[in-house]
Each structure stands twice: as C-alpha cells, then as structure tokens.
Structure 1
Amino acid sequence: MQEKYGRNNGEGDPPRRGRPPNSDGRATRDHLLDAALRLFARQGYAATTVRQIATEVGVRDSAIYAHFAGKQAMYDALFAEAGPVSPELLDLDIDALTEAGPNRAVTELVERAFTAWSTYRACLFFELLVQHNVGSAGIDNLLAGIETTRDRLAEPFRQWQEAGQVRADLEPRQLVWELFAPIQVPRVLHLRGDASDSDVAAARSMVDDHLDFFLTTVLTSEGSE
C-alpha cells in the first residue's frame, strides 16, 4: 500500500486510548483537532458530537472546552489552518512583505500556502471541505477568507506599483486573486486525504510553474531583482 503523505513517524495516526500522549496544551489541542477531523470525514460534521470527539481521544467532554467553545470552534480552527488563503494562514506582516519586494514576498507567500496545504491534516480537511461543506456558513467563511486576503494584500501590490516594481496597468486586488486562485487547482487534483508523496510532488510542480509564470508576467525589471 502506498504510504500516505505526512504520516511519517506516526503523524496523523489515531491516538491511544486513555490520557493523551503528553499533557502539553498544544499537543492536546492537536489531538482533539485530529480526532474531530477523522470523525467529520468518517461520518459527517452534523453527525459528530463533542462527546464522540472526546471519546476518540480518550478524555472527558470537559477537556475539549478547555481548548474550544464547541464543535463549530474546532471546525473553524481546522478551516483557519487548512482552508483557503487567509491572513492567519499566511501569517501576514504587510510592512515586512512590502519592504521585501514583490519577487521575494510573493515567492514566500506561495511557499507558506503550499506548506500549510500539503500536511496530512490539511489534505484530509480539504477533502472534507469539498465533499461535506457545512452549509451556507461554510461558504460564507470561504468567501470571507478570500476577500479579506485580497483586501490585505492589495496594499503591498499597490506600493510595489508606485515603486515601479509591478505593472501599473493591473488592479491590485485582482493581482492577489490571480496569484492564489490558480494554485487551488493542484489542491483539487492532488492534495486530498489520500495524497501520497508523488501527489505532493506533482502539486508542487504545478504551483512552481504558476509562480514562475506570475512573476514573469506581473513584475517589471526593477521588481524582478
């Protein structure tokens, strides 16, 4: 059987019963998210309860509420780390990005997105997102994340245009869309729950080709330095 990407050293494997492997808060939070994701993928979001998630990890229901307000908060946390591009996923520092210049900054942003999306948990969540979106609330979250990112990243592109580093005939918010929208295609094609190392490599190749095309098309000679 082909090895699943991201499962090296047991990552993504079901936790043992009883007490979580260690008592560190971050580790416990991750185990809860992993358990919630497995159940969401196995039986659907609506059919999954907080008690089932607790049982999957081997803790009391109350242990979940030390980390999350409830099931929706757990889904929201998974969405923030593995959903569409968002300020949280990209860890945006607008001033630092602007100072770095478009060539370096755009490359780094795409790398952050791909790194986040190619983990085992992100691949499994994306499959869940595609197949079992949580009604209109899920769609609203999807659109809100995309539009917030377009708003935030428009400013660096605007400043790069003023500095003569990016073509001035292109609308900044549209540039953000053109940067990130095409790299959703490799996710759909390759970064699903059963993604293998070769799938991730294929997605990486598509993303790299798009990045090269975007930089060549959008940057001026000054911005390419």
Structure 2
Amino acid sequence: MPTATPPSKGGRPRKSDVEAKSLHIIETASRLFAQQGFAATSVEQVVTACGVGKDTVYRRYPSKLALFEGVVAHARVQTEAHFQTAMAEATGDVMQQLRAAARWLLEVNLDPTLIAFKRIAFSEALVVGQSAANRTVDPIMDRLFALLRAAQEAGEIGPGDVSFLATHLINSIAVGPMITAMLGSTTYASSEAQDAYFEKAWRLFIDGARGVGRMSEA
C-alpha cells in the first residue's frame, strides 16, 4: 500500500505548494481588480487578502501592473480551456459547430469578470498582454479559422479570406454587446437577452458570409 507524501519540513517547498500559492495570489488579485478596479486596488491589499508575506507576492509580481498582467494571462488560459471544453461538447455538422463557437464568443465577451478587466485596460490606458498580441498560436482563432474553411469547402459560405471572415464574425456577434456592457449596461446580462440578440446577429452574419462569393463576382 503506497504511503502519503509527508509535508515539506524546511528546505525547498514542493512544486505543488508553490503553484497553489501562485494560483491563490492570482485568484485573489483577480477578485479585487474586478470588484474595485485598477486604481483602487493595491498590492498591499492583495497581500493582506491572500494572507501571505509581501515578499511572496513581489517575488512573483514586482509591480501592480505586473500583477494585473498576470491576472489577464491567467484569465486567458482559463478562457482558452473553457473554449476547448465548449467545442468538445459541440455536435453536428460544420455549421452547427461554427454556430456554437459564435454563441460562445458572445457569452465569453459578456463575462462580467472579463468585462471588468477590459474596462480597466481601456480606462487606465494600460498596455497589457503585449506578448499575447505577438503570439503565433491562438487556439481559439485557429479553431475559428478551421471551421470557416470547412464551411467554405462545404459550400455553406462564400469564398474569401478566413481572417477577414473571422474578424467580421466577431464584430457581428460580440463586439457591440461587449462595448455596451463595458459602458455599464445590463441589456445583455441574461441568457435570454443574449439568445435573442444572437439569433439576429447570426442570421445577418450568415447572410453576409454566403453573399461573399456573389460580391466578389460583381
């Protein structure tokens, strides 16, 4: 019968303990930034709420901006994992899967915590996630591109640059409601309101995407 690993007594802390502490710091900071905003949240508040030493936080995040960037990076990882789970559960043909991806984009861009982070980045004029902007791998966009290409191959939408189509889809489905939410509106707070908006926006996108081929021939 295997024996349990005894707790660390002195020396180097176990990797699992370090990771757990880092996650606790990020989750605490995420909650405070989302509730209070950037200006009203201090590293000292995060330290107190975490119940850890100040050096423990500053070793990982030497400034408040670095801490916020860590919060945004953590949210991005969680968002990508959520997307993978949602798409793993999506069934049906390519158009049903593309529709599921589009509906997920609307939902995630109206997530209250993510809205709070975006509001902070804009209102505080923070440059965060620059490394993300330079990333060559984006699993969400890669999957969206793949679905659009498959829809083109199936003759469901017209030919064209999938990058342009993906941008058009995001703008059609998610950007307007996201900006509305960032301005403080609760118009799309409920699933019912999101569903009603999505049905109209999805139909407009599909009608436009199916007409791409005809427009290019005109």
Query: How high is the TM-score relative to the length of structure 1?
Result: 0.59
Q: Determine which of 122, 128, 153 is the counterpart of 1:130.
A: 122
Task: Indicate yes or no: 2:43 matched with 1:50.
Answer: yes
Match of 1:104 in 2: 96
Q: Determine which of 65, 72, 81 is the counterpart of 1:78.
A: 72
Task: Indicate yes or no: 2:54 matched with 1:61.
Answer: yes
* Superposition deviation, residue 194 in structure 1: 4.2
Match of 1:5 in 2: none
- Listed one character per residue, the Cα deviations across residues 82-115 of structure 1 (whole Å, up to 9, x for unaligned) are 79xx855633898x69984332112211222233
- Tell me the distance in 2 between the aligned counterparts of 1:145 and 1:185: 25
Question: Which structure 2 residues correspond to residues 161-176 of structure 1 after superposition, within 5 A?
Answer: 161-167=152-158, 169-176=159-166
- Tell me the distance in 2 between the aligned counterparts of 1:146 and 1:89: 20
Task: Indicate yes or no: 2:112 matched with 1:120.
Answer: yes
Structure 2, unpaired ranges of 5+: 1-19, 212-218
Query: How high is the TM-score relative to the length of structure 2?
Result: 0.60
Is the CA contact 1:82–1:89 (under 8 Å) kept in the aligned structure 2?
no
* Superposition deviation, residue 187 in structure 1: 0.9
- Listed one character per residue, the Cα deviations across residues 53-82 of structure 1 (whole Å, up to 9, x for unaligned) are 2224444336658xx932535534435637
Deviates more, 1:115-124 or 1:53-62: 53-62
* Superposition deviation, residue 163 in structure 1: 2.6
Secondary structure at 1:165's aligned position in 2?
coil
* Superposition deviation, residue 154 in structure 1: 1.9
When Rg is computed on C-alpha atoms for both structures, the one with the higher figure is: 2
- Listed one character per residue, the Cα deviations across residues 9-63 of structure 1 (whole Å, up to 9, x for unaligned) are xxxxxxxxxxxxxx99977753331124445x2517xxx6533322244443366
The number of residues matched between the two structures is 184
For residues 58 and 209 of structure 1, do their structure 2 counterparts lie closer, same or farther at Cα, with a shift above 3 Å needed?
farther
Secondary structure at 2:189's aligned position in 1?
helix
Task: Indicate yes or no: 2:186 matched with 1:192.
Answer: no
Task: Indicate yes or no: 2:170 matched with 1:180.
Answer: yes
For the aligned residue pairs, the C-alpha RMSD in angstroms reads: 4.3
